[in-house]
Structure formats: C-alpha cells, structure tokens
Amino acid sequence: MHEYLFDVKLFAAIRVKAKTEAEARELIKSCIDANTANLGAWPNGDPIICEVSLDEPDNDELIEIDGEDPLLLDSEGDNPFHPESPEGRAYGDGRMNEDGSLIG
C-alpha cells in the first residue's frame, strides 16, 4: 500500500478570545501557523492529521465580534441595531424591507 501526500486548501472559522482584534490575529499567527491539526478519523479509525499553514493571515476576514457582525458595531463596540439595546428596540429587530426601511 502507498501513502499519498496532497496539498489541500481548507477553510476554517476560528474563534479567538483576546482583548483586541490585533491580539487575536497575532494569536492565530503564533499558535496555528506551522502546527498540526487532527481532523477526525479515517474509516479504519486512524487519525486524520494535517500540517497547517496560514495563507495570508493579515487578510483573514473578521466575521464576528462577540457573536455580532463587525460591520454593525459602532466605535464603542456596541450594535445599535441589536434588539436588546435601547436603540435596537426603537428599530425593531433590525431587519429591512426591500426598500431599505427597517421592519418593526
């Protein structure tokens, strides 16, 4: 039996706890790049182990901060459209009609 090595591109969403976005990005670079990861098991039970490298870590897309879309956060890190915020209650649930007006 032969062993084959493939260079496979994978996409991952990684949650990092840090004080700032810069600190979170640095943690990803320092702890993940050039490391190994376990992706589960082959049908025979052997572990699926891979080597991990980061493609362009400075260009990784930030998609959430504390579960919120970063594009909706103000300079204080608050989401004024969140239904639990005082401003959000005034705007309903933040969803929009086709014409761009807020529902609620």
| Predicted confidence (pLDDT) per residue in 24-66, tens digit | 999 999 998 889 999 999 999 999 999 998 888 788 888 888 8
- Domain boundaries along the sequence of the chain: 1-60, 63-104
pLDDT band at residue 70 using 50, 70 and 90 as cut-offs = confident
CA 71 to each of CA 61, 63, 77, 79: distance values in angstroms, whole numbers, following the listed order: 12, 9, 10, 9
| pLDDT score of 59 | 83
Dist. CA 25–CA 1, nearest whole Å? 41
| pLDDT score of 76 | 62
